[in-house]
Amino acid sequence: MRPRSNPRSTSRRRAVTKIAFIGLGNMGGGMAANQAKAGHAVRAFDLSATALDKAKAAGCIPVDSVVEAVRDAEVVITMLPAGPHVRGVYVDSIIGAAPSTALLIDCSTIDVDSARAVANQAREAGYRFADAPVSGGTAAAEAGTLAFMVGCDARDFADVEAALEPMSRITIRAGDHGAGQAAKICNNMLLGISMLGTCEAIALAERLGLDPERFFEIASKSSGQCWSVSSYYPWPGPVPTAPSNRDYQGGFATAMMLKDLKLAQEAAAKAGATTPLGAQAEAMYALFDRLGHGGRDFSAMLQLMRGKLDELA
């Protein structure tokens, strides 16, 4: 784990690197912009013309296909929705089309099996590959303060870390290929569970006549303290940056949390791990999604726990 002030990374950053950036959505758009801001030559591709226009305005070079983006790339970065997109793009348009010297980094959140399958195919074709999913939402993507969890060969980590530096606050090697995705789904399963616990406790506090803001003062300094309480309190007021202050818009969508919890359950089933709280959390977010709130921040679960869905605008 190294902070972004690492002198080696900074000196690498000054050299202009030819980067291919594929997937310029909510996350990838800001990430590609930060690579361009750092002075790199970023050839960018997305299926969406709007995303390409935004990338151009941010200093990237829009191109017409993945193959065109990766043709001369030294580093290829992908930020795509899910496993099937990543498998398809790597097999059809990156492996064999990028120079075999290129470093391939997938930052999407996908299942561990897909990450390992793509890593194996890339390595058989002579490439270095890393799975490097991120923690931090769109604000961190724009600010260049994401946390990356990396699965790669130990000898490739320094180059991966340097390539990610303009987009990162911290980069941690989790282990070999697939370990980055494993870290990501375990972390998000923990977050999904801790948010439900936080919402449940606030709903109970309210029913017991305890002011939820006063409960924040106590829980954030007691053994109930966790990130969901201290940095993302689901009741408006105590944490001004939390989505609870803007009717749970923006932030981390319930549908995204549900996707990550499904990945965790699939991985647990394959590995024979017992994750009863993760299973319960998945069921709760699936219900909230089914009720039409998949686009809201996941901390809006508080209103379900309070039995006050009508308070959502």
What pairs with residue 43 in β-bridges? 20, 61
Distance set, CA 154 to CA 107, 129, 177, 178 (Å): 18, 11, 10, 13
> Which residue among 184, 221, 259, 308 is the active-site one?
184
290-309 residues near ligand NAD, rule: CB under 6 A: none
Question: What residue is closest to ligand NAD based on CB?
Answer: 25
Stretch that binds ligand NAD, among 18-26, 162-170, 266-274, 283-291 (CB under 6 A): 18-26
Torsion of CA 104, 186, 169, 106, to 10 degrees: 10
Q: Cα 224 from chain centroid? A: 26
Tokens of 247: 């009717």
Integer Cα distance of 96 and 127 in angstroms: 9
Is 25 near ligand NAD (CB under 6 A)?
Answer: yes
Is 23 near ligand NAD (CB under 6 A)?
Answer: yes
Is 85 near ligand NAD (CB under 6 A)?
Answer: yes
Stretch that binds ligand NAD, among 43-51, 214-222, 224-232, 269-277 (CB under 6 A): 43-51
Stretch that binds ligand NAD, among 10-18, 20-28, 115-123, 267-275 (CB under 6 A): 20-28
18 in active site: no
SS3 75: strand
Integer Cα distance of 157 and 42 in angstroms: 21
Is 89 near ligand NAD (CB under 6 A)?
Answer: yes
Place of tokens 């965790």: 264
Distance set, CA 185 to CA 110, 149, 203, 280 (Å): 9, 11, 27, 15
Is 62 near ligand NAD (CB under 6 A)?
Answer: no
Is 180 near ligand NAD (CB under 6 A)?
Answer: no
Is 31 near ligand NAD (CB under 6 A)?
Answer: no
Write out the residues near ligand NAD by the rule CB under 6 A.
22-28, 45-48, 51, 66, 79-82, 85, 89, 108-109, 134, 137-138, 252, 256
Q: Which residues are catalytic?
A: 184
